[in-house]
Each structure stands twice: as C-alpha cells, then as structure tokens.
Structure 1
Amino acid sequence: MPSPTLDQTGRRSRPAARRQSLRALVLLFALVAGMLPFTGAAQAHGTIINPASRAYQCWQAWGHQHMNPAMQQQDPMCYQAFQANPDTMWNWMSALRDGLGGQFQARTPDGQLCSNGLSRNNSLNRPGAWKTTNVNRNFTVHLYDQASHGADYFRVYVSKNGFNPATQTLGWGNLDLVATTGRYAPSQNISFNVSTSGNYRGHHVLFVIWQASHLDQAYMWCSDVNFV
C-alpha cells in the first residue's frame, strides 16, 4: 500500500485528503443502498390502479404516513397489512408468479386468490372492511404497468351475490366471470371497459388476472368495489 502524500507541514496534501473523503462517501453510499428495498427490472411491473387493488390502495392512502397510529382506527385492513409485511405495499407492482401455464385455479388454492398465492402477501386475503371504490354496472379497469409488457389477456371476475367480503375469504367458487379480453400491445397504461349484468349491489370483490405477454407471468389482484 503506497504511503500517504504529505505536505511540508507533515499533513496530508489536499488532493490526497479529497481522495480519502471521496472513498468514504462511496463506502457510505454503498452501505445505505444495501439497506434500501430492492426493486429490480424483473420486479418492476404493475397493478390495477382503478378500481385500486388492495395493496395499491393501502400504499396510496398510507404510504407517506404508514407510521400514523390513526390508520388503526381509520383503515384497519390497511393497518393489519402494514403490520404483517410493509413490503406488500411498497412492492405493490411485483405480485407475480412465473410459469403457471394458465392453470390459475389448479395452482392457486381457495383463500389465497387476493395474494396471488404469495405467502408474503397473505394479509391481502384477510376478510374485513376494506376501503371500496364506487362503480356501476359498466365501469373501466385501468392497469398501470411500469415496464410496459403488454397483455395476452385479462380475466375479470366479480364475487357472487351472497358472498360477504367482510367475513369470508375468497375462493374460486365465489366468483362470476364477467369479462375476458384479447391482447394488448406493450404500454404503461392499459384500460378496458367491463359490463356486468347489473344485479350486483353493495360491497363486492373485483378479481383480475393479468397474463403478461413478455413471459409466462401471471398477476392476480383483489379490488374492493361498491356497486351503486
């Protein structure tokens, strides 16, 4: 290791001191970066932002104030989700599973639909008073996809009349298929219209499957809607 450069007074010269300070800053940056949650390109995808999926709704409402104790009273379902695993909300765009080959029902057990079968997102399966978005019999579903992967198709379901999202976990037998779309070209924003029979009223679960186009990646989300 070379000896440090000294000036006539025996102190390090300014260029040497600057280099040492720069090395210290680089080390500090690396340490801080290693402590931050990583969301790489493979994870940067999207979610249904309208009607907002459960994780996105919680992130949008409480992401900047997730330590606010008022959440426990004002939004108990988001509170329990943040308590269970904050990463569920911070990574609202990365609830994907690879290689399902379209076998969504066979490979996703009842009670795990809202988490897309991901144990780290189990809090999203919990029944309760989730915040709802008002819709009528004809509404628009809006996907935001950071990586612009496009879609082979979307499948849209609504929980059956008689199913109670406040007390029951969602299973495949609780769903009515209301729409299946065609392909969509790569875009950060994809919207499509959904028309239902008009027989739904009150709080229902909107369940959406997105089969991405770039790889065999499947996304499943629950959004809570109030049919008016």
Structure 2
Amino acid sequence: MPLQHLLPRAVTTSAVAGLLLASTLAGDANAHGSTTDPPSRVYGCFDRWGSNFQDPAMEEQDPMCWQAWQADDKAMWNWNAVNREGVGGEYEAVIPDGQLCSGGLTHEGRYAIFDEPGPWQAATKPRQFTLTVTDRVPHGADYIRVYITKQGYDPITQPLGWDDLELITTTGSYPPGDGIYQTEVDAGDRTGRHVVFAIWLAAHKDESYYMCSDVIFE
C-alpha cells in the first residue's frame, strides 16, 4: 500500500515527500549528488516537484518531468545516484550512445527516461558560466569532465551520443570540504538550446556520476 494511504489525512503532501525521500536515501548510503547549477534533468525534476509530486499541473507545465515521475518516482528520490562503479575511465566504451543521461541504464534502468529527447526545462546561461556539482555525502572528486553539445544538435528530437559532444574541460581534484565542487565553463560561440554533460569521478573509489543539464545559451 502506498505510504500516503497509511498516514493521517492531516499529513501534507510535502510531509509525505519528505518521508519518502528520507526513507529512500537512508538505504542508499553510497549516493552522493548531481549537477545542481545548471540543474541536471533528474535533480531539476526533484527540485521543482519533490514537495508537490502529485500535482496534476506538472503534466502541462513540465511534461518531461511528469513522464519521469510516472516512469519511476524512485529516480527523483535518488536524484543523487546516477552512478556506476568500476568504469576505469573508459566512459565511451561502457556507456552506449543514447544512454549517457542514465549512465548506461544504471540501476536496472531506473533513469532511462532521462535519455529521452524532448522539451526538458532548460536553464538560461551566458556562454561563460559556473558549473556546480553538489555532493550530499562529501568524499571529494578526482575530477569533473564537462562536455557540451555541438552547434546544430537538437536535444528536442535527438538522443544524446558521444559524437554530439565536445569535451570542454577536465578539472583537477577537489577535497571533500562542504561538498560543493565548481568549475568555470566556456561554451565558445554556441547559441540556443544545448545539453551540458558532466562526468564526476568520486575520490574515494572508482565511482562515476553522469549528469545531463539542459541549457539555453544567450
């Protein structure tokens, strides 16, 4: 039986969301984080709708997130766990084209919906911007690789493949600190809608995270 059916009617939707989130994350001790600025697709859906995930307005206001919540709501409660272990830096060999945003259908395909092209909500950014990864369980980072789609790629209609991307920067390492890892990104002369794809390699073991963020460059 769904958790909300076991709670008194006075319990708000926000409280249900908080309880679901706490119970899910408590069993996922290895979960870390995601790109929060510009927000990854999965974090953006959680951030916008996590406290109001039953709102029918989502279907019209945020249709891609609505599809994502219907597909697997556990993806949003685990927005910080699009990860794989043991890749050894061989990202292009391990993660197939069309599956980059889900980390190669990691966690039995929980994040598959985030590979779907479509009108994901996009953050408007200048062509020089700061990318932020937020690490909930700070272990630091060996590096963050940042890619941006090439001019002419259409994220509304095209699945994301490696040939659609240009590697923009690979950072150095980050200490655990407060779990906020930032890097400056230069998108060059790109304009319009793009995908920023980031790979974050955690410092404590070979555990890599995959993050697709939709942006509109001014």
Whether TM-score is above 0.5 comes out as yes
**Counterpart pick for 1:193 among 171, 178, 184:** 184
* One of 120, 137, 156 as aligned partner of 1:130: 120
Q: Do residues 49 (structure 1) and 36 (structure 2) align?
A: yes
* Distance in 2, Cα, partners of 1:71 & 1:43: 30
Matches of 1:102 and 1:83, distance apart in 2: 33
| Aligned-partner SS, 1:57 | helix
What's 2:141 paired with? 151
CA contact (8 A) 1:211 1:218 kept: yes
SS of the residue aligned with 1:123? helix
Alignment correspondent of 1:71? 58
1:29-83 deviation line (CA, Å, top 9, x unaligned) = xxx99xx435346333111100000011000111111111111111000000000
Q: Which residue of 2 aligns with 1:95?
A: 82
Quote the offset at 1:212 in angstroms: 0.7
One-letter code aligned to 2:117? P
1:83 matched residue in structure 2: 70
Q: Check the 8 A contact 2:192/2:216 in 1, yes or no.
A: yes
Gapped regions of structure 2 (runs ≥ 5): 1-18
The answer (yes or no) to whether the contact 1:212–1:218 under 8 Å persists in 2 is yes
CA distance in 2, matches of 1:43, 1:156: 23
Letter in 1 for 2:57: A
1:133-153 CA distances to partner (integer Å, 9 max, x unpaired)? 111121001111011111111
Q: Are 2:25 and 2:77, in contact at CA under 8 Å, matched by a contact in 1?
A: no
Tell me which residue corresponds to 1:221: 211
Distance 1:189 1:73 in 2: 33
Moved more, 38-47 or 53-62: 38-47
The whole-number CA distance in structure 1 between the counterparts of 2:208 and 2:124 is 26
Length-normalised TM-score, structure 1:
0.82
Q: Say yes or no: does 1:183 pair with 2:173.
A: yes
Partner of 2:202: 212
Answer yes or no: is the 8 Å Cα contact 1:39–1:91 preserved in 2.
Answer: no
Structure 1, unpaired ranges of 5+ = 1-31
Take 1:142 and 1:38, find their aligned partners in 2: how far apart are those partners?
Answer: 21
Identity across the alignment (%): 45
Q: Do the aligned partners of 2:34 and 2:80 also contact (CA within 8 Å) in 1? A: yes
TM-score normalised to structure 2 length:
0.86
In structure 1, C-alpha distance between the alignment counterparts of 2:209 and 2:36, rounded to whole Å: 14
Paired residues of 2:72 and 2:110 also in contact (CA < 8 A): yes
Contact 2:24 2:78 in 1 (8 A): no
Q: Higher Cα Rg: structure 1 or 2?
A: 1
Report the aligned-residue RMSD. Answer: 1.7
